[in-house]
Amino acid sequence: MKLFNVKNLIRLLVLMVVYGIIQYLFINKAINPFYMMTLVLVCIYIILAVSQNIITGFTGQLALGHAGFMAIGAYMSALVVVRMQGSLVAGIIFGALMAAAAGMLIGLPTLRLRGDYLAIATLGLGEIVRIFFLNMDYLGGATGFSVPKTIDWTWAFWLMALSVFLMSSFINSSHGRACISVRENEIAAEAMGINTTKYKVMAFTMGAFFAGLAGAIYANYMYLIHPGTFSFLKSFEILAMVVLGGLGSITGSVVGAGVLTIISAGLADYPEFRMVIIALVMIILMVYRPNGLLGNKELKLDFLRIKKKG
């Protein structure tokens, strides 16, 4: 696959326009810092949702430990930045790599499990990670760990764009196809000579890497990280974004993450009703659109595409 084909150039152009408009509005004070924060959170959740989708939507493995990987990324990057006085980039890379390493370590034994057993095992691992950080007084423990805010909207947006691009390239590669075959029929895939364990671990490691990256962005943006933020409810939230957007659709995850985060911020003026409304949105959307907003289709820039045929 060529990196600089027309399609990618158009995508890049669209991204630049989106970035430019928001940046312009922000500089002109048309977007207040609260909405700016919401947009950065949208970027973070997009990375989380798409990486969860790689594991669950494309490879078919129901894992519920994403908050754990996010926590590893967040705490490890904070370790580098605060305790070791490292640079932000070093922190982010270290955080993501540590999460990926943890993903691989956890994936190797647990990915033998199927379906709901995998779900509960990964959920348990995510909780173990949280309890570990809760007991780590060196990294703030129960009080939380203060991290200076060094990430801004520009960083978050372009890291998000890069992550989504890398993950969608992975899905469209032969490795990605192999992952999809594992989802469709594991036994048939194995019979076709695909090393299913290898691809499952690969997808899992990749998902963990980007979850760690999102966690690192979160840590360096939100001033304070706290073990309570990374409970299993966060994993549920991420999974909900993926399923609401559509399993197996990258743009679906983008939409799902955007919808849930923006609804939550938009309802900030009605604190008592906020979570009840979000719960109802989840139920109603699922009952009426069980395959998610986009199903497994992708949202395409059709109207921009140069027509090849008819």
Partner 1 sequence: MGSVSDLIIQQIINGISLGSIYALIALGYTMVYGIIQLINFAHGDIMMVGAYIGWFCTTTLMLSFIPALIIAMFFTALLGMLIERIAYKPLRHATRLAVLITAIGVSFFLEYGGILILTPQTRTFPEVFPQTVYEFGNITFKYGDVVIILTTVILMAILTLVVKYSRVGKAMRAVSFDKEAASLMGINVDNTISATFAIGSSLAAAAGVLIGVYFNTINPLMGIMPGLKAFVAAVLGGIGIIPGAMVGGLVMGLVESFVSGIGFSTWRDAAAFFILIIVLIVKPTGLLGKNIREKV
Partner 2 sequence: MKTKKIFTYLIVALLSFTLLAGCSPKAPTDQPAADVVKIGGNFELTGGVAEFGKKGENGAKLAIKEANEAGGVLGMQIEYVGADNKSEAGESTAATTKLATQDEVIGIIGPMTSGNTLAAIPVITEYGIPLVTPTGTNSTLTVTEAGALNDWVFRACFIDPFQGEVAANFAMDTLGATKAALVIDQKGDYAKGLAASFKETFEKAGKEIVASEQYVAGQDTDFRAILTNIKNKQPDIIFIPGYYNEVGMIIKQARDAKIDVAILGGDGWGTGPIVDIAGKEAMNNTYYVDHVAADDPALADFAAAFKAEYNQDADSFAALGYDAAKLLIAAIEKAGSTDKEAIRVALETMSGFAGISGDINVDSATHNPQKSASILKFVDGEKIFAARVDPK
DSSP codes, the chain: --TT-HHHHHHHHHHHHHHHHHHHHHHTTSS-HHHHHHHHHHHHHHHHHHHHHIIIIIS------HHHHHHHHHHHHHIIIIIS---HHHHHHHHHHHHHHHHHHHHHHHTTS-HHHHHHHHHHHHHHHHHHHHT-GGGTGGG-EE------HHHHHHHHHHHHHHHHHHHHSHHHHHHHHHHH-HHHHHHTT--HHHHHHHHHHHHHHHHHHHHHHHHHHSSEE-GGGGSHHHHHHHHHHHHHH-TT-HHHHHHHHHHHHHHHHHGGG-HHHHHHHHHHHHHHHHHH-TT-SSTT-----GGGSPP---
Which is closer to partner 1, CB of 52 or CB of 77? 52
Q: Is 38 in the site for partner 2 (CB under 8 A)?
A: yes
Number of neighbouring beta carbons within 10 Å of residue 209: 27
Which is closer to partner 1, CB of 216 or CB of 244? 244
Q: Is 243 in the site for partner 1 (CB under 8 A)?
A: yes
Which is closer to partner 1, CB of 91 or CB of 103? 103
Least distance CB 63 / partner 2 (angstroms): 22
* Contact pick of 280, 301, 304, 305 for partner 1 (by CB under 8 A): 280
User: In the numeric block, which tokens belong to residue 308?
Assistant: 């090849």
Q: Which span sits near partner 2 by CB under 8 A: 82-90, 94-102, 119-127, 226-234?
A: 226-234
Which is closer to partner 1, CB of 13 or CB of 275? 275
* Contact pick of 14, 18, 128, 301 for partner 1 (by CB under 8 A): 128
* Contact pick of 240, 250, 254, 293 for partner 1 (by CB under 8 A): 240
Least distance CB 49 / partner 2 (angstroms): 15
Hey, which residues between 158 and 187 contact partner 2 (CB under 8 A)?
none
Residue 119 touches which member of partner 1, partner 2, none, C-beta under 5-8 Å by kind: partner 1
Residue 262 touches which member of partner 1, partner 2, none, C-beta under 5-8 Å by kind: partner 2
* Contact pick of 114, 177, 300, 305 for partner 1 (by CB under 8 A): 114
Hey, which residues between 47 and 76 contact partner 1 (CB under 8 A)?
56, 62
Q: Is 41 in the site for partner 2 (CB under 8 A)?
A: yes
Chain residues binding partner 2 by CB under 8 A are 25, 29-35, 37-38, 41, 134-135, 141-144, 146, 149, 218, 222-226, 228-229, 255, 258-259, 262-263, 265-266, 268, 271-272, 274-275, 293-295, 297, 299
